[in-house]
Structure 1
Amino acid sequence: MHATSGRPGVWPARIACGLFVAALVAGCAGGKQPAAPAITPLPVPTPLTAFTPAFPQKIVQLAWFYKPPEDSNLATLAQYFNVFVLTKNDEAARDALKAQGVAAPMLQYFAFDAIQDPGNCTDRPWGNQVAYEAGDFCQISEQHPDWFMLDSAGRRIVHEGNAFMDPGNAGWREFFLQRVRQSQQEQGWDGVFLDNVEASLYKRQTRGLPGPYLDDAGYQAAIEGFLQYLYLNYFQPQRRPLFANVIAIQDQQEAYFRYMRYLDGAMEEGFGVDFYNGFLSDSDWLEQMSRFEQTQRLGKRLILVSNGTRLDAERELYAFASYLLIANGGASFRYSNNRSYEQAWLYDNYISDLGDPTGQRYFDGKVWRRDFAGGAVTVDLKTHTATITTH
């Protein structure tokens, strides 16, 4: 039996530069870990998806987003990554990946919650939101002021040059879908990834509560209605996958599953560990494990992102092992942080020869464990350590 670390030794030399030699987090610390609380499955609406997009089904899948890489070439992505989200104006990179054998649908990034104010009516805005033509913001501002999200004092909610839009406004929904459809069909994309789909008002507490939505239930209903409008009017009948980064979930798991009726996949940007250098509480970690197992049982896809620094071998191992505990062919993984998304971080344990899982995760009295045909994975919530061992 041998242990798998995060060493980059098997990767091509062009990638290995800058990666690290990671020691195995050996064994689990002594002492007894509290027994895991029982997780009662949430009631889940019947999924509406009538097709299965042609994504990979293997246990270990790596996700790439949102721009082409800065530190490696596209051949690296084509060889090692399996799920892709890129942005308008990345069509050349997208087509090059397809030419190199990538068969998975190419998802196009769009901000779901806001549009950019470029500061004048002549500069072309960013391509990562639907008001991407020069003059769009000015025209919307003058002709459709009701599309903007207003706070309780009637002021537009603006953050870092982005104006938030009202998800319940019928005119805004129509414009959004028109632009998405136009970009998808004219530029040859396969599907869409929506960023910042909120499951609660948590983020709004610091940016001004939206006047029409002073409680979670009303806000969730507007967002769910928007997703339903997009999905039933375009994505489902056109057989195009629709993914979303569902954020601000807090304790709103039921809203998450309602949203999933109108989505083919979801991203979690704080999977397995907390942002940057902290860890999830035991209860939050267990909730994620249960929710993402349930998501895959519904036939939905997942992009699970764990935040950390490139050289933190123990954190990467802990995050990746957490992923392996619940990966059932519908989940992809990435260890990175939002300052490094354009860097391809690759680790030896991504190609551990574990084989297929022989069952689901279980708690053995000390650690969470999952057995594979070629080895085993453990995660210790008490010490925040993990092991990946192969026969």
Structure 2
Amino acid sequence: MRRLRLFIASFLLCCWLAGCARSTGRIPTPVISPVPTQPPTQTAVPEPSPTPVAAPDPTPEDAPAIQAQTRLAWFYKPPRSGNLAAIAHGYQFFILTRMDERERDALRGLGVEAPILQYLLFDEVQDPGSCLEQPNHNQVAEETGDFCELRQQHADWFLRDAEGNVLSNDDGYRLMNPGNPAWQAYWLERARNSQENLGWQGVFLDNVEASLEKRRQYGSVPVDYPDDASYQAAIEENLRFLYTTYFQPEGRLLYANIIALEDREVWFRYLQYLDGAMIEDFAAGWNGEYSNVYEWEAQLELAEQTQARGKQILLVSQGDEFDHARETYSFASYLLINNGNAFFRYSNAAAYNENWSYENTSLQLGAALGARYPVGSTWVRDFERGQVWVDPNAHTAGIEPSP
């Protein structure tokens, strides 16, 4: 009888515990296996050691896959090798410079249907050293004698410091006042002429500054814009004038390389008057270093939000041609956030006219099955035919097709 009472008591206790478990709704948290650590065959990337965490909610069966095929960007001059066919067939976004019209038209003859943009410096003109010298064609004052005419007849258009000195960049480029309406009109007239008379389909603006950081590096701040807010407001107004006066009404594209970015809200203020923008030090940073994890994450979020607003983004990673681990890290970072409106280039600012080719950019991973998600210190994204992971702490990455 005593054994029977113990059995009944045990049975009732088990039933009560089971009921409590059901009433609280607590179920064991599923744990995923670590991200595969086998490096891709085309590179020698160190193995990461992510800490397993709970798997993200599964993608609903009726959620559409994200069509995020790899798209590469070419700029700013024709390839040094002269192999235009490789560029036409290997890239999906194109920027060339005035005097490259012959190569531009050859690309179109090779089947390029995407718009080809004209590279122009934003608010810079070149002093060629003499009124009789031919300036570079990468800016609107491209005719012989243009700089001398601007200096003599429109001295108030130049950007100056408190001592009256004209602000300069490298290679004899002088800065113009972005908030001067007469300069804005001059720039647009020159750009319009080359666009319409030479068959271009839009403009890519280089060196659109988002702060005074670069001016401080050069040791002088413009007297008209003593703080970031005033400088940003003048540049934003310049972009608004160009975009709403000409580019948007005429159906021509306007892109920009936004530099010296310290506040990403400025990026989006400028972006409302652009069709897309560039980050030129994406993921890997300049001069061989890597961005820290916070900078890396901020760039990825910026790229995601830019695409979510219906704009395009060009992500350029700097590195050496044969640094395959760095290229894999940069390209995998791009794959984590490409939602269909992002373009990629791994190159070096001194080698933009060289066509570096990498096997991993041709991998057929299929559509992305969802957004990136964290696994310990690693970020992961699943594709129809593979997986991509990046560890921004260790600066390692893997691009792994399914067997």
Taking structure 1 as the reference length, what is the TM-score of the superposition? 0.87
1:147-158 pair list within 5 angstroms: 147-158=157-168
Per the alignment, residue 10 of structure 1 pairs with: none
Tell me the CA shift for residue 123 of structure 1. 2.1
Per the alignment, residue 87 of structure 1 pairs with: 97
User: Does structure 1 residue 389 correspond to structure 2 residue 400?
Assistant: yes
CA contact (8 A) 2:254 2:274 kept: yes
Per the alignment, residue 112 of structure 1 pairs with: 122
Q: Which of the residues 223, 230, 239 maps onto 1:211?
A: 223
CA contact (8 A) 1:2 1:389 kept: no
CA contact (8 A) 1:231 1:263 kept: yes
Q: Which of the residues 159, 164, 178 maps onto 2:189?
A: 178
Q: Specify the code of the residue in structure 1 equivalent to 2:43.
A: A
Tell me the number of residue pairs that the alignment of Structure 1 and Structure 2 aligns: 353
Per the alignment, residue 239 of structure 2 pairs with: 227
Q: Indicate the structure (1 or 2) with the bigger Cα radius of gyration.
A: 2
2:248 alignment partner, SS class: helix
Per the alignment, residue 357 of structure 1 pairs with: 368
Q: Which of the residues 328, 347, 351 maps onto 2:339?
A: 328
User: Does structure 1 residue 63 correspond to structure 2 residue 73?
Assistant: yes
Per the alignment, residue 301 of structure 2 pairs with: 290
1:257 alignment partner, SS class: helix
Between the aligned partners of 1:5 and 1:302, the Cα distance in structure 2 is 27
Taking structure 2 as the reference length, what is the TM-score of the superposition? 0.85
Cα deviations across residues 281-314 of structure 1 (Å, max 9, x unaligned)?
Answer: 1111111111110000111111110000001010
2:95 alignment partner, SS class: strand
CA contact (8 A) 2:39 2:46 kept: no
CA contact (8 A) 1:4 1:349 kept: no
Specify every segment of 5 or more residues in structure 1 that has no aligned partner in the other structure, as ranges.
Answer: 7-21, 35-56
Between the aligned partners of 2:380 and 2:237, the Cα distance in structure 1 is 39
C-alpha distance 209-4 of structure 1, shift in aligned 2 (>3 A): same
Q: Specify the code of the residue in structure 1 equivalent to 2:207.
A: N
Q: Specify the code of the residue in structure 2 equivalent to 1:343.
A: E
Percent of residue pairs identical = 48
Specify every segment of 5 or more residues in structure 2 that has no aligned partner in the other structure, as ranges.
Answer: 1-35, 54-66
Tell me the CA shift for residue 121 of structure 1. 1.5
Between the aligned partners of 2:212 and 2:37, the Cα distance in structure 1 is 47
User: Does structure 1 residue 78 correspond to structure 2 residue 76?
Assistant: no
Tell me the CA shift for residue 364 of structure 1. 1.5
Q: Which of the residues 31, 43, 47 maps onto 1:23?
A: 43
Between the aligned partners of 1:278 and 1:115, the Cα distance in structure 2 is 31
Between the aligned partners of 2:38 and 2:97, the Cα distance in structure 1 is 38
1:99-178 pair list within 5 angstroms: 99-159=109-169, 160-178=171-189
Per the alignment, residue 11 of structure 1 pairs with: none
State the superposition RMSD in angstroms.
Answer: 1.9
User: Does structure 1 residue 236 correspond to structure 2 residue 267?
Assistant: no
Tell me the CA shift for residue 365 of structure 1. 1.9
CA contact (8 A) 1:325 1:360 kept: yes
CA contact (8 A) 1:91 1:187 kept: yes
Q: Which of the residues 230, 238, 258 maps onto 1:246?
A: 258
4+ runs deviating over 4 angstroms:
1-6, 31-34
Greater length-normalized contact order (CA 8 Å, ≥ 6 residues apart): 1
**More moved, 312-321 vs 118-127:** 118-127
Q: Which of the residues 351, 371, 390 maps onto 1:379?
A: 390
Tell me the CA shift for residue 59 of structure 1. 2.3
Cα deviations across residues 239-262 of structure 1 (Å, max 9, x unaligned)?
Answer: 111000000002x11111000000
User: Does structure 1 residue 269 correspond to structure 2 residue 289?
Assistant: no
Larger helix proportion, structure 1 or 2?
Answer: 2
Per the alignment, residue 316 of structure 2 pairs with: 305
Between the aligned partners of 2:338 and 2:238, the Cα distance in structure 1 is 30
Between the aligned partners of 1:31 and 1:104, the Cα distance in structure 2 is 40
Cα deviations across residues 331-388 of structure 1 (Å, max 9, x unaligned)?
Answer: 1000001111110001000011200000001102231000000010000122111011
**More moved, 63-72 vs 176-185:** 63-72
Q: Specify the code of the residue in structure 2 equivalent to 1:71.
A: S
